[in-house]
Amino acid sequence: MNDYKIKSTSRHSAECDPILLRQTSTTRLIFCPLMVDNPHSTKATIKGNFIFQRKGKNNTWENHKELNLSNLKAQEWIKLEIKSKELLTLLQGLYPLYEISYKDGIPFGKAQYVKVEANLEELSKITGQDLKTFFQLNKKAGVKLLISLLNYAANLENPQQVVDRLEKLEIDNLQKLNSLVGLSNLKKCQNTWLTNETNANEEFWQQLFLSNFFILSQIFPFPILLIKGKAYVGGKTVANTGGNLVDFLCKNEITKNAVLIEIKTPTTKLLGKLYRDNIYNISQEISGSVMQLANYKNSLYLDHASVTREMTLKLNSFYPHCVVVAGNMNQELTDNTKKRSFELFRNSLRDSQIISFDELFGKISNLIDLFENKST
């Protein structure tokens, strides 16, 4: 079993545990990988440094004094030999990191991945009664195991064998299982909303929607596919500055047309000051977000060829659909004057859609009601 510990250093990079290549009683050679979000080459996600260390005081490893290569004189050179076993160790250590970066991108905060090698032959022989007894005696561990198995089955490259076995289940049991899993996930997301209505951390909501993208999919009347969170959509100058990063780059699954989503927080103000006795200004945060999306849409249109050059998924930019998710209408729009002011503004927008957090999670509540009505 191998552990892979990863700690984000920014939105675009994360430090990984060093890979030990060579060690004696007093020295060792390690490779320190750095996971990076590379918009120019989506497959080139790992870089790093070879570091030679000596054992210092208290048996701690200390980096050997760095050699400044710029001080090398003519005819001088440096050679670092990597033995065959060490090179194999390096490749075996890097391969899982590439897999993690391709699947999950740059993790937020600290993350730990575990690779387990086991013989599942005996596990497949467990009877239904054995499983029932196990789940009764170990409810918490049993639920975690069930979730892990379902996730494993859902992400198989060739899931046909699992599908064939599931088709042999009684139809009522299969429907109950499907409803149970869907309903549990919906309720978990709804509970997260109810306990975080005043959470002003934009990164928290970014990660929630990234892990549960089906929440954002409820906004649209058409099927939508997530391409990337914090995605580059053009805008760099010749000096390689000024790049635009949209919170979520998505596309219509049928037309392949781009969809741009900007995430704020539930505490973002929807309205500004009272302008007249019966009307309010829109808030600076909302107007700024609308203009920001307009800029993203324009840069994606202008730089479409360079942005999509290395994409494996087709993406069009036929006047991209733009959405801002911000604010809490129930908390802020407490009278008809405020409600009218906000609705007049957002319904007058031609290029962008504004939806509040409570409206979005209200759709999740409706889905929960639908599942529970079906199950009764």
For the record, the structure tokens of 205 come out as: 């909501």
For the record, the structure tokens of 337 come out as: 């004057």
Residue at a domain's end among 191, 214, 237? 191
Tell me the torsion sign for CA atoms 89, 92, 95, 100.
Answer: negative
Instruction: Give how many domains the chain has, as a whole number.
Output: 3
Quick count: other Cβ atoms within 10 Å of Cβ 44?
12
Q: How far apart (Å, rounded) are the C-alpha atoms in residues 16 and 97?
A: 8
| 210 in any annotated domain | yes
Q: Tens digit of pLDDT for each residue in 261-295?
A: 999 999 999 999 998 878 999 999 999 999 999 99
Taking alpha carbons only, the member of 290, 285, 275, 296 closest to residue 341 is 275
Q: What is the model's pLDDT at position 181?
A: 52
| 126 in any annotated domain | no
Range 91-106 burial, b when 16+ CB lie within 10 A, else e: eebbeebeebbeeebb
Q: How far apart (Å, rounded) are the C-alpha atoms in residues 289 and 284?
A: 8
Asked whether residue 170 falls in the same domain as residue 222, the answer is no
| C-alpha distances out from residue 121 to 127, 134, 235, Å | 13, 18, 54
Contact 295, 232 (CB under 8 A): no
Q: Is the pLDDT of residue 12 over 90?
A: no
> What is the domain range of residue 86?
2-67+81-115
Asked whether residue 140 falls in the same domain as residue 257, the answer is no
| 127 in any annotated domain | no
Asked whether residue 95 falls in the same domain as residue 162, the answer is no
Residue at a domain's end among 191, 219, 235? 191
Asked whether residue 217 falls in the same domain as residue 363, the answer is yes
Asked whether residue 97 falls in the same domain as residue 164, the answer is no
Asked whether residue 151 falls in the same domain as residue 90, the answer is no
| 361 in any annotated domain | yes
| 75 in any annotated domain | no
Asked whether residue 217 falls in the same domain as residue 177, the answer is no
Residues with Cβ within 8 Å of 371's Cβ and at least 6 positions away in sequence, in order, are 179, 182, 183, 186
Q: Tens digit of pLDDT for each residue in 96-131?
A: 889 888 888 888 888 877 765 545 555 556 666 766
Q: Is the pLDDT of residue 375 over 50?
A: no
| 74 in any annotated domain | no
Residue at a domain's end among 191, 210, 228? 191
| 228 in any annotated domain | yes
Asked whether residue 291 falls in the same domain as residue 248, the answer is yes
Q: How far apart (Å, rounded) are the C-alpha atoms in residues 307 and 309?
A: 6
Residues with Cβ within 8 Å of 87's Cβ and at least 6 positions away in sequence, in order, are none
| 222 in any annotated domain | yes
Asked whether residue 255 falls in the same domain as residue 330, the answer is yes
Least confident residue range of 67-81, 161-175, 317-331: 161-175
Asked whether residue 207 falls in the same domain as residue 339, the answer is yes
Between these two residues, 159 and 289, which has the higher pLDDT value?
289
- Residue 238 pLDDT class (50, 70, 90 cuts): very low
Q: What is the model's pLDDT at position 230?
A: 86
Asked whether residue 247 falls in the same domain as residue 171, the answer is no
Asked whether residue 228 falls in the same domain as residue 334, the answer is yes
Q: Tens digit of pLDDT for each residue in 188-201?
A: 889 999 999 999 99
Tokens 């049993």 sit on residue: 142
For the record, the structure tokens of 226 come out as: 């997530």
Taking alpha carbons only, the member of 242, 243, 249 closest to residue 206 is 249
